[in-house]
Amino acid sequence: MSTFKDLTVYKKAFSLAMEIFKISKSFPKEERYSLTDQVRRCSRSVCANLAEGYRKRQYPAHFVSKISDSDMENSETQVWLDFAFACEYIDEKTYTDKIEHSIEIGKLLNHMINNPEKYK
């Protein structure tokens, strides 16, 4: 029997969250409680909401709601990456790579939202 950890989108989201954790270690100390904390929290929430939604997949409306929450957190991750780039805490290559990774995750989440019956 498969678990949420077997989902491609979960693997990609977990990988992105870990990459963000690593790059955010170099953010200035004054950003600890704002940018650093926020970008780590929302990137991890993508995974947490996926796990919750997957366990409720027998209830399509609840499943879609939780996956939608995951998508929302993924979008918030992009906003914090925008700030990190604008503040020059990450370079353009890192920014582009993480945003592209997030966009790919968003596409996979939207597939789940639009096709909940495929995840029963």
CA distance 63 to 60: 5
Q: What is the pTM of this model?
A: 0.95
Answer whether residue 1 shows pLDDT above 90. Answer: no
Could you list the residue range(s) of the whole structural domain that residue 11 is in? 4-119
Which tens digit of pLDDT belongs to each residue from 35-56?
A: 999 999 999 999 999 999 999 9
Q: What is the DSSP letter of 59?
A: S
Mean pLDDT of all residues belonging to the chain: 96
Q: What spatial distance separates the first Cα and last Cα of the chain, rounded to whole Å?
A: 12
Query: What is the tally of structural domains in the chain?
Result: 1
CB atoms within 10 A of CB 17: 21
CATH of the domain at 13: 1.20.1440.60
